[in-house]
Structure 1
Amino acid sequence: MSDTSLTIDTILAPELTLCRVPASSKKRVLEFIAEQIHEQDESLNDVQIFNNLISRERLGSTGIGQGIAIPHCRLEGLDRVIGVLLTLEESVEFDAIDNQPVDLVFALIVPKEATSEHLELLSQLAEKFNERSFCNALRECEDARTLYERMTAASG
């Protein structure tokens, strides 16, 4: 499978789209993401994913402003890109660039030998989340299915 077909709808699974997740902190959000990925694929180690996400955050927060974060990391032994979309029940402190708490999270886990396509994907996401009306539509979702449909409908 070639990397060029990386779009939001090819990396995001309905099972990894979750609405109104209760989380008390940034750490808890990242833990939750790692646990969800492990639940979907037990060959992937949640502790390793969590540690990699945390290491990435130490380089600088992935909170891109306006209540949005795109935490991401590379993972040894991964052969595809995994996306996780969450809306949070309550905003959490994320050390974001504008110091606003975060309630919309799109995590991206990419293979260790990530390529420019993965960076392209990050900028695709950032661009989407730049549209306030799009973000508001995601925040208004009451259930995961609607959230998934809104996120993937916008892709492409």
Structure 2
Amino acid sequence: MQISDILSPQAVKTLIGCSSKKRLFQDIGDLTEAALGIPSARAVEALVERESLGPTGVGHGVALPHARLAEIDRVQGVFLRLEKPVDFGSVDRKPVDLVFALFAPEDAGVEHLKALAVVSRTLKDQAMRTKLRANNEAVTLHAVLTEDQANQAA
């Protein structure tokens, strides 16, 4: 599985005025509805429910919120780069500015775990995070996220 399998160019955005984790989840929901056709309220509800089990801020300014939804048939994601980092309750207590939200079918099992692993591995890379933080354009962010994997596979 590669990021290009779960992230479309329409599902990438830079947020300028996000001020809180609650607002961030609403922005994720709005992008999810626009790009993936998943109702915003349903996406937000599922993310908040999952987040109540423990924060998905993984450190280094990265968050990987994720949820399972009965309404979808394959793993899909959205990526947001925040102009101003927000507190996310991350393990390293640092605010988050790179957010990759994943949505999986309720019965996805191993596919959901594979998607989390590939996204986590990609965003753990310091050079990748630096490239993402240096760009604001959605098309460039998508290219950075997907080209790096294409080069590794070659």
Q: Decide: shared fold, TM above 0.5.
A: yes
SS of aligned partner of 1:133: helix
**Distance (whole Å) between structure 2 residues aligned to residue 67 and residue 49 of structure 1:** 22
Matched, 1:103 2:91: no
Counterpart of 1:142 in structure 2 is 136
Give percent identity, aligned residues only: 37
Give the letter aligned to residue 78 of structure 1.
I
Counterpart of 1:22 in structure 2 is 17
Give the letter aligned to residue 58 of structure 2.
I
TM-score (norm 1): 0.91
**Distance (whole Å) between structure 1 residues aligned to residue 83 and residue 26 of structure 2:** 16
**Distance (whole Å) between structure 2 residues aligned to residue 131 and residue 103 of structure 1:** 15
Counterpart of 1:121 in structure 2 is 115
TM-score (norm 2): 0.92
Per mean C-alpha deviation after superposition, the further-off stretch among 66-75 and 111-120 is 111-120
**Distance (whole Å) between structure 2 residues aligned to residue 129 and residue 41 of structure 1:** 22
In terms of fraction of residues, the more helix-rich structure is: 2
Matched, 1:50 2:38: no
Counterpart of 1:88 in structure 2 is 82
Residues 21 and 86 of structure 1 are in contact (CA less than 8 Å); yes or no, is this contact kept in structure 2?
no
**Distance (whole Å) between structure 2 residues aligned to residue 132 and residue 41 of structure 1:** 29
Shift in alpha-carbon separation, 1:37–1:20, aligned structure 2, 3 A: closer
Query: CA RMSD of the aligned region, Å?
Result: 1.3
Q: For 1:47-86, what aligned pairs fall within 5 Å after superposition?
A: 47-86=41-80
Matched, 1:40 2:16: no
Q: Which runs of 5+ in 2 are unaligned?
A: none
Residues 12 and 83 of structure 1 are in contact (CA less than 8 Å); yes or no, is this contact kept in structure 2?
yes
Per mean C-alpha deviation after superposition, the further-off stretch among 32-41 and 96-105 is 32-41
Matched, 1:9 2:4: yes
CA shift, 1:112, in A, is 1.1
Give the letter aligned to residue 43 of structure 2.
I
Give the letter aligned to residue 32 of structure 2.
I
SS of aligned partner of 1:83: strand
CA shift, 1:75, in A, is 0.6
SS of aligned partner of 1:59: coil
SS of aligned partner of 1:123: helix
Per mean C-alpha deviation after superposition, the further-off stretch among 91-100 and 112-121 is 112-121
CA shift, 1:21, in A, is 3.8
**Distance (whole Å) between structure 2 residues aligned to residue 64 and residue 41 of structure 1:** 24
